[in-house]
A and B are shown apart, each in its own frame.
Chain A
Amino acid sequence: MLNAQCYDSLVDLSAQIGPLTLKNPLIAASGCFGYGVEYKEAVDLASLGAVCVKGLFLHEREGHRPPRIVETPAGMLNAIGLQGIGVHRFVREHLPALRDLGATTIVNVCGSTLDEYVEVTKVLSDHEGVAAVELNISCPNIKAGGIQFGCSLTGAHDVVALVKRATALPVIPKLTPNVTDVASFARVAQEAGADAVSLVNTFLAMAIDVETRRPKLSNVLGGLSGPAIRPIAVRMVWECRQAVTIPILGMGGIASGTDALEFIIAGANAVQVGTANFFDPLIWNKLVADIEDYLRRHRIERLSDLVGGVEVSAFEPAWIDS
C-alpha cells in the first residue's frame, strides 16, 4: 500500500484535450488575460494549463466606445467590442514571447465571415507556438460575426467543418449560452469534427442607469460574466457532457478551486478562468493548491478520474417548477 507521502506526489492534474496534453486543467479565458504577455511579470505563464489569448480577427479592430464594463451583483457586463491587434501583428509581436515564456497558447479566433475564420486559422497554423484554436462563435457584443454562427446549428457546423479542413491544429468551438439548448450545439460541433468544445461565453444582458434612464454601456447590451453566472454554466456543462464524448472546457464564474472542481465534476475536462482574473490576478497557484488538496483528501490519483463524476440519482426535469 502507498503511504500518504508517496501518494501525495502522485496527484496527476494533467488534462487531455484531443491531441493536446495540458499540465493542469487551468486555462486563462479569452479576453480576460490580454495576450498573456501583459501578465508575464506577475504570473508564470508556463505554470498554467494554457493561456487563451484575446479574440483575433484578420485585421485590427478599435472596439466600442467606453464605458465598456459595468459591475452587477457578483458579476459584470462587458461590451469591449473585440478591440484587437489582428492575427498578423499577434504572430509577429506576441507569439514569440509566449513561446519563450513556455506558455501553452490557445488562440481565440474571430470572423465576420466563414472565410475569415479559415484565414485567421491558416495564419496561426503557419507559425510555431500555437497549441490550438478556439473558435469564437459566441461573442454577444459585435454585429457582424461570431454569434450568427453560434446561434444556428448549421452555421456552427459549417464553421467547425471548414476550419477543421484548413488546419492540423486542434479546433475548439466556443459555445454561446444564449440559445435554448446548448447541448445540441455541442453535438453538432462534435459531428463536424471539433476536438473539444468550450462553454460558456457571456450571457447577453443589459443594465440601465435609472437616474439618467440611459443604458450603462455605450453598446447598450453587454455580456454577463463572473460568479453570478456559475450555476447556469455548470448546468450547461453537465447537459453537454451527456450529449458529447469530446472534451469540454468549462467556464463561467470560476473564482476558487471549489468552483473549478464543480465544473470538472459536472463534466469539464479542463476549466477556464475569466472575470476572477480581473480581481484576483494571482489566483493560479491557489487554484492548483486547492485542487491538489481536494484530490489528496479524496484519495483520487488523477484529476481526469473526476471528470463528469457527479452522482445524480434520479433526474426528472419536469419537476423543476417555480
Chain B
Amino acid sequence: MIVDIDAEVMANTKLSADYNVLVLAAPDIARQARPGQFVMVKPSGSFTPLLRRPFSIFEVLRDPSGTPGAISLLNKRIGVGTTLLWDVEPAGRVLCLGPLGRPFEPVDPPAEAFMVAGGVGLAPFATLGDALIARGTRTTLFYGARRGPELLYTEWFATRGVTLALATEDGSRGDHGLVTQPLQRALAARVSSDPVALYACGPTPMMHAVWKLAAGFGRDVQVSLEPVMGCGMGGCYSCVIPIRNDGGQRHFVRSCLAGPVFNASRVVWEDLMG
C-alpha cells in the first residue's frame, strides 16, 4: 500500500561537494520497497518548492534483527528542491510518499546481471544489487562519472560481491572515457547464448548509448527513466515518455505508473532526446 510519511531525517551524510545520502525513518516504505521503485519527497511545510521530487529508493536499511526500518536517498544538489535536501539536518522532517512505480525485474542464475550507472543514476542499483546477489546472480556494476571522487559507494558494492567496472572522463579511476567502454568489452566477451540481463540508469544520452550498444549484441536493457514528475501517482500526466506500442505506433505513457523502468527497445529515443 502507498503511504505518506512525514519522515524523520536520521542522518545526512555528505559524500562530496554536491552528493549526499539522506536516511529517512520510513518503516512502512522500507518494508514494501522493491528494486527500482521511487518515492516522492519534499521538506515539510513550504510551498517553495511546491511539488515533490521523485527519488529512487537508494538503500533499504534494516535494524539488527533484519527488520526494514529506514530508506536512504542519494541526492545531488542541483536546484531548489535538491538543495533543501542537501541542507536538511538530522531530526528534520521530509515528506515521503511511496513506494511508487514499476520495479526492475531481477534475473536469476544462470543469467548474469550488468547494472550500468552514470552519475546520480547509481541510485536504483543498491537495492537491485542486493536483490541480485541474494538470488546468487553474478552481478557487475558498470559505473561512470566525470572524475574519480564522483564514483560513490564503490566499496559498498564491492563488499557485497558485486564486480566493479569503472570509467571516468578524466581517466583518474577505471577506464579513461565513458562507461560504455568497459561495457562494450564485457558484452563482446559473452557469446549470444549466454543469458545477460542489462539494467541502466543515468543521463538520457548515456542510457541511449547503452541501449544502442546492447542492441548491437542483440540484447535489450531495462532502463530507469527520470522525467520531471508532478505527482508520482498518475494524476497529472506530466511525466510522459514516448513509447512504441505493439503496432509500432508512438504514444505517451505516464512514467510514474508504466515506469520508471521501461524496456529500452520500446522507448522512442529520438523523441526523448529532443
Contact = CB atoms under 8 A, between A and B. Distances in A.
A111 B47 CA distance: 34
Contacts of A157: none
B233 A39 contact: yes
A34 B240 contact: no
A281 B231 contact: yes
Contacts of A78: 230, 236, 238
A192 B16 CA distance: 64
Interface stretch (A66-74, A168-176, A243-251, A310-318): A66-74
Interface stretch (B48-56, B124-132, B184-192): B48-56
A41 B51 contact: no
Residue among A31, A69, A227, A280 with max Cβ neighbours from chain B (10 Å): A69
Interface string A214-248: 00000000000011000000000000000000000
A62 B50 contact: no
A257 to B, nearest CB: 16
Contact of B236 (A41, A62, A278): A278
Contacts of B1: 41-42
Contacts of B47: 73-74, 226-227, 255
Contacts of B97: 281
Size category of the B interface is 20 to 34
A36 to B, nearest CB: 9
Contacts of B237: 31, 34, 54, 63, 68, 80, 83
A34 B234 contact: yes
A286 to B, nearest CB: 11
B251 A66 contact: no
Nearest to A29: B235
B50 A69 contact: no
A253 to B, nearest CB: 10
Nearest to A218: B274
A63 B240 contact: yes
Contacts of A275: 50
B251 A62 contact: yes
Interface string A267-289: 00000000101111110000000
Contact of A38 (B42, B48, B234): B234
A34 B1 CA distance: 18
A42 B2 contact: yes
B28 to A, nearest CB: 12
B233 A38 contact: yes
Contacts of A39: 233-235
A76 B228 contact: no
B252 A278 contact: no
Contacts of A226: 47, 50
A201 to B, nearest CB: 15
A70 B133 CA distance: 40
Interface in B11-63: 42, 47-52
A127 interface: no
Q: Secondary structure at chain A's binding surface: helix, strand, loop or mixed?
A: loop
Contacts of A65: 271
B8 interface: no
B235 A34 contact: yes
B240 A66 contact: yes
Given A32-B235, A69-B236, A278 B51 contact: yes
Contacts of A308: none
Interface string A6-31: 00000000000000000000000001
A269 B68 CA distance: 46
Contacts of A66: 227-228, 238-240
Contacts of B234: 34, 38-39
A103 B184 CA distance: 53
A117 interface: no
B51 A279 contact: yes
Contacts of A69: 51, 228, 230, 236, 238
B4 interface: yes
A275 B51 CA distance: 9
Contact of B2 (A41, A68, A280): A41
B50 A76 contact: yes
Nearest to A84: B237
Contacts of B42: 279
A38 B271 CA distance: 26
Given A83-B252, A278-B235, A279-B42, 20 more contacts: A31-B236, A32-B235, A33-B235, A34-B237, A39-B235, A62-B252, A63-B252, A66-B228, A68-B240, A71-B51, A76-B50, A76-B230, A80-B238, A83-B240, A227-B47, A227-B50, A275-B50, A279-B51, A280-B4, A281-B4
Pairs of residues from A and B, 10 with the lowest C-beta to C-beta distance, nearest first: A38-B234, A278-B231, A69-B238, A74-B47, A68-B238, A42-B2, A34-B234, A34-B235, A282-B4, A80-B237
12 contacts: A31-B236, A34-B235, A39-B234, A42-B2, A63-B240, A66-B228, A69-B230, A69-B236, A73-B47, A75-B50, A83-B237, A278-B230
